[in-house]
Amino acid sequence: MKKYIIVWEPDSQKGSPVNNALLKILNEKQLAEKMEIIRSPFIGFTSSGAILRVMPDNLIYTGFRVEDLEGIVNATLAGDRVDKFISSYDNKFLPVEEKDPLSRQFKIVLRNVGYLDPESIEEYISRGGYKALEKALFELGRDGVIAEMKASGLRGRGGAGFPTGLKWELTKKEAGEIKYAICNADEGDPGAYMDRAVLEGDPHSVVEGMIIGGFAVGCTQGFVYIRAEYPLAIERLEKALKDAREMGLLGKDILGSGFDFDIELRWGAGAFVCGEETALIASIEGKRGNPRPRPPFPSVSGLWEKPTFINNVETWANVPVIIEKGGKWMGSIGTEKSKGTKVFAVTGKVKNPGLVEVPMGTTIREIVYDICGGIKDNKNFKAVQTGGPSGGVIAEKYLDMPVDYESLQSIGSIMGSGGLIVMDEDDCMVDVNKFYLQFSVDESCGKCMPCRIGGKQILEILEKISKGNGEMTDIDKIYSISNAMQKASLCALGQTTPNPVLSSLRYFEDEYLAHIKDKKCYTGKCKDLVQYTVIPEKCIGCGLCATRCPVKCITGEKRKPYLIDTKACIKCGECYNVCKFDAVKRG
Amino acid sequence: MMMLEKQEVTLEKGLLDFMEKWKDKPGKEIMILHKIQEVYGYVPRKVAMEVSRVMGIPLAKIYGIITFYHLFKLQKPGKNQISVCMGTACYLKGGNDIIQEIEDLIGVAVNTTSEDGHFSLEVVRCVGCCGLAPVMSINGKVYGNVQKSELPKILGEYSGKEANANG
Amino acid sequence: MDKMKKGDLSKFRKEYKKLSGSEIVISMGTCGIAAGGDRVYKIIEKDLNDNGIKNVIIKKTGCLGLCFCEPNIIVRMEGMPEVLYGNVDEKTAHMIISEHVIKKNIVNNYVIFMPTNDIGKNIFKDQGR
Ligand SMILES: Cc1cc2nc3c(=O)[nH]c(=O)nc-3n(C[C@H](O)[C@H](O)[C@H](O)COP(=O)(O)O)c2cc1C
Ligand code: SF4
Ligand code: SF4
Ligand code: SF4
Ligand code: FES
């Protein structure tokens, strides 16, 4: 078979020396028949130097010099390899036999996503789908399933991290004939789409997980509460349910076992609070989605007052793998208290935004830099935010923090559902927190005072600070309002609304102080606190800024310093961005 | 879509069938409202009243739900619905600028409809394509990595045309 | 399809044969479609048809997670390594058929370095393809 060498070279390496050298070798040795060189503009992880992938041998070379290429070509032709340049990514969190030398990712939840046809139940089955269901029904039995779930150490992926096996056991123990299983597919965290990817890419994994859960706990009916904003996920899930029913995997007498279980969809309608489990239940019941106090917990009195257990999409998608491979297997991946993997939607100012699934314990640095390529446009890292509007920021000094529930909590953030938003030097903490607060205020259901009024008050303080009217006492006010909200709000929405502000105050207090004391926003995001001026010594008078300014408030003569009319300037920052000579000052 | 105004309260067939299918299911209210909005583009008052009468759901309950959930509309939207994402990823990547540019281009403010009823503009929280931020959608078709400079072209595709049925 | 009973699943897996060894898999989640995946799908479908190619099947799949270079396509041709293309525009879509599928030449400059067997890594080694 013909050999292919795929070449990736960093942009900084001008003129593609590796690619050209390889082509030259091919030419000299007249190898065009036997070997092909393919240039690749994209790479799924970071590398400081050029990197080669030899196909079909599937070898990866790094750390070589141009002089070494001939040796690599010769070895490749001979079906051999040059060991000293073979790359090895060491993934310390995987059990040995599953170690993947080529990347830091490890896909359990996303095992089929992007690989099989989500509309084909045949493909899902052919890749081992519904094997776990069969094992659960005929081998493990109800207690066996729960034992495996507990052994796996799986914790809820929807945010709170409650042990899944225990939740199932508690619901199973409740008296009563009728119980319900619910899948929480409301994915409300703005900037996160893990659940959408799973539902669109592998709906059967969730369906199979739910059937197994329903069997273990003793339910006959399950519901998927899904965002109406995800029409494609709804369509594919409906198809999956229909196909499973036709094959006897869902509905009456599943696989001839005598167990009956069916699943229906209920659509959300754009209320973030309905991701909260008691609000979600109210919404399925066809009511306004107001949370209610717990206890009673849903496991005791949930949907239509029956014992109910709710798990997140990603939690459900883990279930078939746990049942099939065994709880012990899952327990061998990850850290002591956080087992298995976590899917993150990495977005914001990162070079390669996307979905990644990594073993628990992987560091934030590995996710942001090694997998997603680092910060876009060579800007400086500022922070990542996990947990969205209920979470917090992770500052640079914690980049090497491993992701697990406890570590993240210890630094004032949370695991959250998996949104990981990367911010760079251009993002202003006051501005970003205004965004989160506005979100929480919009989404507060208004049922209880601390949340309804407190959120609004913090937002007003932030607005005041960003306009340059902040006072030092405002910071204290934020703390005391936050305290009241955390203590007295009825549900987790209100209790966690202050989190983003508090965590940013913890790590970026100086930015708040710059706004309050110096009346400056160095990122230019708070428009009242920034001025753009031309530095005459640096300006060469090219006139580019003047042509780009949307309000035409920059004037000047070619080759002489230009001038910004600060009164007319709308502070869009365009001049600052386009000037090639750093002659526009922001401050 | 336009039929309704003339026929007043005769409910559309698809909606009636849907109501029939759901009438005995507990928790049907929200699903029926979704169906109404799918058929009419919003929840017209007369339809809400008729549904309330036929299904025996108190009108107050229906309005309680509509006002609670952001997705339900009481006003008739424009023929083409522009939704700009303002989730976190899109916010950081300049979603605001996109909104402003659209407002300038077609003269519609957020949550309003243009005078000719051709466009309406709304802000949504995350359509789940954050990797392509900033994101917007028109009549359900999603556009990713939107640049301000592309907007005239994108909007141009819709000016003069009727809305897609699936709007 | 008849309803399955205990043991039928493993029989099904044994009998389930691929229509062809060669396939083109297009990433078509919401984001893939937004980036132009549906357009690419139509072009590839048409080009396969126009060229009378019957032994290559075309398949939709979900989001690979590589949002930075959507639309992505995996091409698996018999006797060639599996290749993942990114940022596939209309021109590349045509070339994937005319070059890769017909002439068996990989289309330069659109290949994603990241190995595909890592992306769709089948953790159930014994049952996979
Ligand atoms: C305001 C709020 C929003 C929430 N949104 C979601 C959500 O979108 N998806 C989700 O799975 N869980 C969400 N949760 C967490 C759920 O209440 C619940 O803990 C979770 O669905 C349980 O499943 P798990 O144990 O599998 O994580 C939210 C909680 C709160 C307080
Ligand atoms: S904390 Fe907020 S969202 Fe929760 S019940 Fe109170 S007002 Fe509603
Ligand atoms: S772009 Fe920079 S160098 Fe050119 S005129 Fe403007 S400020 Fe001066
Ligand atoms: S910030 Fe914008 S408006 Fe102000 S001078 Fe620069 S380009 Fe013009
Ligand atoms: S934040 Fe805009 S699509 Fe998610």
Q: Look at residue A519 and tell me whether its pLDDT is greater than 80.
A: yes
Fold that domain A341-424 belongs to in CATH? Ubiquitin-like (UB roll) (3.10.20)
Region A531-586: CATH code: 3.30.70.20
Looking at the 3D structure of chain C, how many domains does it have?
Answer: 1
Question: Could you tell me if residue C55 is inside a domain?
Answer: yes
Paired sense of beta strands A392-395 and A563-564, if any = unpaired
Cβ contact (<8 Å) for A269 and B131?
no
pLDDT digits (tens, 9 = 90+) for B125-150: 898 899 899 999 999 899 999 999 99
Residue C3, domain member (yes or no)? no
Tell whether C69 is covered by a domain.
Answer: yes
Taking Cα atoms as reference points, which of A227, A232, A204 lies closest to residue C63?
Answer: A232
Using omega within 30 degrees of 0 as the cis cutoff, is the peptide bond preceding A101 cis?
no
pLDDT (mean) for A378-407:
94
Query: If you average pLDDT over each of A9-13, A58-62, C106-110, which comes out highest?
Result: C106-110
The residues of chain B scoring below 70 in pLDDT are: 1-8, 160-167
**Exposed/middle/buried for residue A558 (C-beta within 10 Å: 0-12, 13-18, 19+):** exposed
Cα-to-centroid distance, A414 and ligand 5 (Å): 20
pLDDT in tens, A416-468: 999 999 999 999 999 999 999 999 999 999 999 999 999 999 999 999 999 99
Mean per-residue pLDDT for A561-573?
A: 92
Residue in B with minimal Cα distance to A227: B127
B interface with A, Cβ–Cβ < 8 A, is 26-31, 33-34, 64-65, 68-72, 86-93, 124-131, 133, 140
Query: What does the pLDDT average to over A139-145?
Result: 97
Residue A423 in 3-state DSSP? strand
For residue C115, pLDDT beyond 70 = no
Confidence of residue A11 (pLDDT cuts 50, 70, 90): confident
Q: Is A551 in the pocket of ligand 4 (CB under 6 A)?
A: yes
Residue B150 · residue B97 · CB < 8 Å: no
So what CATH class is A125-331? alpha beta
Say how many Å lie between the CA of residue B85 and the centre of ligand 4: 25
What's the confidence (pLDDT) of residue C63?
85
Output the pTM of the full model.
Answer: 0.90
**pLDDT score for A45:** 62
Q: Give yes or no for residue A263 CB within 6 A of ligand 1.
A: no
CATH classification of the domain holding C54: 3.40.30.10
Q: Is A553 in the pocket of ligand 4 (CB under 6 A)?
A: yes
Q: How far apart are CA B78 and CA A491, in angstroms?
A: 37
Cα A461 from Cα A459, distance rounded (Å)? 5
Q: List all residues 6 or more positions away from A27 whose beta carbon is below 8 Å from its beta carbon.
A: none
C93 assigned to some structural domain: yes
ipTM associated with this complex: 0.89
Looking at the DSSP assignment, which residues form a beta bridge with residue C58? C24
Measure CB to CB from residue C27 to each of A102, A114, A232 and give the nearest one. Answer: A114
Q: Is C122 among the domain residues?
A: no
Question: Considering the domain boundaries, does residue C120 fall inside one?
Answer: no
Q: Which band of pLDDT confidence, cut at 50, 70 and 90, is reported for residue A192?
A: very high
pLDDT, tens only, A207-231:
999 999 999 999 999 999 999 999 9
Q: Express as a percent the part of chain A with pLDDT over 90.
A: 76
Hey, CA dihedral for B151, B156, B159, B165, is it positive or negative?
A: negative
Mind telling me how many Å the CA of A453 is from chain C's nearest CA?
37
* CB proximity under 8 Å: C 70-89 to B: 70
pLDDT greater at residue A250 or residue C54: A250
Higher pLDDT: B22 or A41? It is: B22
The model's pLDDT over A109-129, given as tens digits with 9 standing for 90+, comes to 988 888 889 999 999 998 899
DSSP state of B149: G
List of chains touching C (3+ CB pairs within 8 A): A, B
Cα distance between residue C80 and residue A4, in whole Å: 9
Q: For position A112, what pLDDT does the model report?
A: 87
Position A96 pLDDT exceeds 80: no
| Whole-number pLDDT of residue C97 | 95
Three-state SS for A345-389 is: EEEECECCCEEEEEECCCEHHHHHHHHCCCEHHHCCEEEEEECHH
Per-residue confidence band for A130, with pLDDT thresholds at 50, 70 and 90 = very high
Stretch among A389-403, A405-419, B23-37, C4-18 having the lowest mean pLDDT: C4-18
The whole domain housing C105 covers: 23-113
Integer Cα distance of B37 and B167 in angstroms: 10
Q: Per-residue pLDDT averaged across A245-255, rounded? A: 96
Place of tokens 């060639």: C80
**Angle, vertex CA A297, rays to CA A291 and CA A303, nearest 5:** 70
Range scoring the smallest mean pLDDT among A15-29, A85-99, A479-493 = A85-99
Position C55 pLDDT exceeds 80 = yes
Give the Cα separation of B155 and B148 in Å (integer): 11
Query: Topology of A429-518 in CATH?
Result: de novo design (two linked rop proteins) (1.20.1440)
Q: What's phi and psi for A19, nearest 5 deg?
A: -60, -45
Residues A465 and A474: their CA atoms lie apart, in Å, by: 8
Residue C121: pLDDT band (50, 70, 90) is: very low
* DSSP character at residue A139: I
Would the CB atoms of C70 and B131 count as touching at under 8 Å? yes
Tell me the CA distances in angstroms from A577 to A103, A348, A475, A541, A583, one per residue in order.
Answer: 35, 19, 32, 16, 10
What's the whole-number average pLDDT of chain A? 91
Q: Which fold has domain A3-92?
A: Glutaredoxin (3.40.30)
Q: Whose CA is nearest to atom 1 of ligand 5?
A: B87
- For residue A396, the 8-state DSSP code is G
Nearest CA to ligand 2 atom 8: A445
Which residue ranges make up each domain of chain A?
A: 3-92, 125-331, 341-424, 429-518, 531-586
Whether residue B129 and residue C31 make contact (CB cut-off 8 A), yes or no, is yes
